[in-house]
Structure formats: C-alpha cells, structure tokens
C-alpha cells in the first residue's frame, strides 16, 4: 500500500502497526498530513510508528515517543578513522583482507552484480540462526529488491579471483549515509571481507563530506563488539507511536505496541535465540550461521 507516494507495511493483528517499508531511508516529514492520508486511503492499521532522521536527535513532535538506539559512526576524514577511531586489531583485519587477495571497489548496478548477489544469498538458507529471506529468489526479483533509491545509492563489491564474495549497498542522505545491505560469503569469512568493505564505505563517505554512517540498530544481536571495533557508537533517536483508533489507544495502554522480545530480559532473548538457531540448523540440515 502506498500513502503520499511512500510504501507502507502493516504488521501484526492486535495491534496492526503501520510503518514506512523503507524507514531509515525515507522519512515522514509532515506526520499530521500523513496520518490524514493514511486514514483517507482506508489503511487497516491501529497504530502508526515512525522515526526521525538519524541526525535529528531532538524531538520535533508531540506524539508519544520512545527512544530507539542506532549504531552511528562520526566521520571527518578517512585518516582520522584509520589512525584514531579504530584499534590495531581492526586495522590488521582490513590488511588481512588485502593480503588474502580481496579487492574492494565500487560496482555498477547491472545484471552481473545481481548474479553475484544471488550467489551470496543462495549460499545458505540460514543467516544469523534464522531463515534468510532472500535465499532462492530469482534474478528478476532480486533486481527489483535492490533498485530502491538508486539515484542516491552506491554499491561496494568485494571480489576474490573475480568472484563477488561480499557487497554493501550504501544509501546517501543529508549528512548521513546508511548501510542498507552488508553481507559476505560464509565460505570466505576467514578473509575479513566485511571489515574491508566497511573501510571502503568510510573512505567514500569521507570523500563525499558525509559526517555520519548509520549501521542498523545498536542492539542487533551478535554485532555489538563488531560495531564498536569499527568506531560505531550508540545514538538514540526519537521513535513515535500514534494511535489511529480505539484499538490503537487500548493497545498502547497495555504496552502491546512492543514485540514480546522487547519486553523480555536480554538473557532470555539470547537463550531463546540460541535455541531457535539450533532448531533451524537441524531443520535445514546446515551448520548454524
């Protein structure tokens, strides 16, 4: 469903929560008008949620807000990042990729790139212990998936012996760039591919005068230390929740606008995620990845 030329996704049953499908890459700049359009278009949603831009930390609206933590790197120059913001271990990982024969460069968005991306996606049906949503998709579908924001995106490819073994989709915004996709082949995890690609992303951002690089949520499981070692820091941004009807108001009073995983203690979530990973690994008959 599209509202004000922006695609929205509605998830859940009670409550049904609407949000921009590509939030963090496009924004609701006039929420009052957007809410009117959402209702006028007959969206079957109980709550609208949206975030401010990554570089806008001061609340701008009077709606109910909660703070969401993003991983954001401050950038001045590549040299500053290389010499002062990261440690020797991270620098050695980037050098390791080079010594392993990994070449990192900008890639054109064409059929050859999509074929390479499909090769990465089809390596395993599991990623981070759960089914990988892009596994097995055909070339045309993947092309459509990755066509978003092409006018302000760059693709970074990591190659080994002319094979694409990792890529980043870097989406540029005002003063901020976003790592929309970042993934590499499990087979080549010993080559520090992801470390080298992040270094290239920092170099590109510095050349463009971009002051911040955003890498998903701060709390994403298993990536905390990795982000810290590459100079990403926790940055809290307002997330708003707007009830659209009585169901929405009741849901928010009962705290139902949160996922169950957000309400459980972290150690419980980690334990359950570990169990889930083992179950999926057995189901798909693959090593847990």
Which tens digit of pLDDT belongs to each residue from 257-288? 987 767 667 777 667 767 777 776 777 777 65
Residue 190: which pLDDT band, with cuts at 50, 70 and 90?
very high
At 243, is the secondary structure helix, strand, or coil?
strand
| % of the chain residues with pLDDT over 90 | 74
Domain ranges of the chain: 2-70+237-258, 72-234
Greatest Cα-to-Cα distance within the chain, rounded to the nearest angstrom = 61
Question: What is the predicted pLDDT for the residue at 289?
Answer: 57
User: What average pLDDT does the chain have?
Assistant: 91
Which tens digit of pLDDT belongs to each residue from 76-129? 999 999 999 999 999 999 999 999 999 999 999 999 999 999 999 999 998 878
Question: What is the predicted pLDDT for the residue at 245?
Answer: 95
At 35, is the secondary structure helix, strand, or coil?
helix
How far, rounded to the nearest angstrom, does the alpha carbon of residue 14 sit from its chain's CA centroid?
Answer: 26
Residue 173's H or E segment, with its range, is none
The residues, any chain, with a CB within 8 Å of residue 157's CB and separated by 6 or more, are 104, 105, 106, 107, 113, 116, 164, 166, 167
**Rounded Cα distance, 93 and 125, in Å:** 27
Is the link from the previous residue into 15 a cis peptide, with omega within 30 of 0? Answer: yes
Question: What is the predicted pLDDT for the residue at 287?
Answer: 61
130: left (phi over 0), alpha (psi -120 to 50) or beta: beta
8 A C-beta contact, residue 166 and residue 158: yes
Which tens digit of pLDDT belongs to each residue from 166-180? 999 999 998 899 999
**Rounded Cα distance, 198 and 181, in Å:** 11
HSE-CB for 170 with a 13 A CA cutoff:
26
**Rounded Cα distance, 195 and 214, in Å:** 15
Beta-bridge partners for 188: none
**Rounded Cα distance, 141 and 137, in Å:** 6
> Once rounded to an integer, what is the mean pLDDT over residues 239-252?
96
* Residue whose tokens read 């009670």: 14
HSE-CB for 119 with a 13 A CA cutoff:
15
Query: How much is the pTM?
Result: 0.89
Residue 140 tokens read as 């045309």
Closest CA to 172 of 132, 224, 119, 209: 209
* Residue whose tokens read 């831009």: 53
Question: What is the predicted pLDDT for the residue at 267?
Answer: 77
Beta-bridge partners for 170: 154, 179
Q: At what angle do helices 193-208 and 88-99 cross, to 10 degrees?
A: 110
The domain defined by 72-234 carries CATH number 1.50.10.10: no
């Amino acid at each position: 469903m599209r509202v004000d030329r922006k695609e929205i996704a509605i998830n859940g049953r009670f409550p049904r929560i609407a949000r921009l499908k590509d939030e963090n890459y496009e924004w609701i700049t006039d929420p009052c008008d957007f809410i009117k359009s959402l209702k006028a278009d007959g969206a079957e949603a109980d709550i609208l949620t949206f975030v401010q831009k990554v570089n806008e930390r001061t609340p701008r609206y009077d709606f109910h807000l909660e703070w969401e933590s993003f991983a954001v790197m401050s950038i001045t120059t590549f040299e500053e990042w290389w010499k002062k913001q990261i440690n020797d271990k991270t620098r050695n990982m980037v050098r390791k990729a080079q010594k392993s024969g990994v070449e990192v460069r900008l890639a054109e968005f064409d059929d050859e790139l999509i074929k390479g991306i499909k090769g990465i996606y089809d390596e395993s049906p599991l990623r981070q212990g759960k089914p990988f949503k892009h596994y097995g998709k055909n070339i045309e579908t993947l092309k459509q998936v990755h066509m978003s924001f092409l006018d302000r995106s760059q693709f970074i490819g990591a190659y080994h012996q002319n094979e694409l073994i990792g890529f980043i989709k870097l989406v540029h915004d005002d003063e901020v760039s976003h790592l929309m996709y970042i993934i590499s082949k499990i087979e080549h995890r010993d080559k520090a591919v992801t470390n080298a690609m992040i270094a290239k992303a920092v170099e590109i951002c510095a050349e463009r005068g971009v002051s911040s690089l955003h890498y998903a949520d701060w709390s994403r499981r298993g990536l905390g230390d990795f982000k810290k070692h590459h100079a990403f820091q926790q940055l809290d941004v307002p997330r708003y929740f707007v009830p659209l009807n009585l169901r929405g108001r009741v849901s928010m009073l009962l705290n139902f606008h949160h996922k169950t995983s957000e309400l459980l203690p972290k150690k419980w979530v980690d334990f359950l995620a570990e169990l889930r990973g083992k179950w999926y690994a057995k189901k798909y008959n693959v090593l847990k990845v």
